[in-house]
Amino acid sequence: MAKEYPDIAVFDLDYTIWPTYADTNISVPVKYDSEHNHLVDSYGYVVKLFPDVIRIFEDLQNHGVTILTASRTWAPEVAKEMIEEFGIKKYITASEWGERSKKGHIQDLLKSLGYSKSEIPNLKIVLFDDEGRNKDVRSIGVDFVYLNASNGVTWRDYQNYLEGKVK
């Protein structure tokens, strides 16, 4: 089956790319432990990326897809440090964080990237997120992939989306 890549893929952070709440469970500074492929915060709390995140980001990047993040986190400095320490900043074009809707995050991201309102309907955009309430992004033409918070984004979820099995 032919795969249809989006123009833009937006990822939530908590329970989508890592299995924790950055704003309540992580205390900075965090340090990356390359031997064990995880972060350790200042209290010794250990967190890893979900297993398929890097593979998905690399596949998207190889297919020219713009990767963005959108999160309701109220501690963006923690999320930023985690992204940098995990070494995934190189995949992410822009991020919009703060206590508001994902619709607002995505609209602001598109505006900051220079897209006009007339261009947006022509873009294929997807949001990967573990919170069902964020399916409201469909009202602005964004596909929504609902994820199991226990697993985050998986290769199967991603492939199902690319193959048109999930919208």
Q: Which of 12, 52, 130, 157 is catalytic?
A: 12
Which residues, other chains included, contact 77 with Cβ-Cβ below 8 Å and sequence gap of 6+? 28
- Specify whether 136 is catalytic: no
Q: Which of 7, 14, 59, 130 is catalytic?
A: 14
Separation of first and last alpha carbons in the chain: 16
Alpha carbons 163 and 35: distance in angstroms, whole number:
35
Alpha carbons 162 and 102: distance in angstroms, whole number:
21
- Specify whether 7 is catalytic: no
Alpha carbons 6 and 144: distance in angstroms, whole number:
12
Which residues, other chains included, contact 59 with Cβ-Cβ below 8 Å and sequence gap of 6+? 158
Alpha carbons 115 and 100: distance in angstroms, whole number:
21
Task: Just list the catalytic residues.
Answer: 12, 14
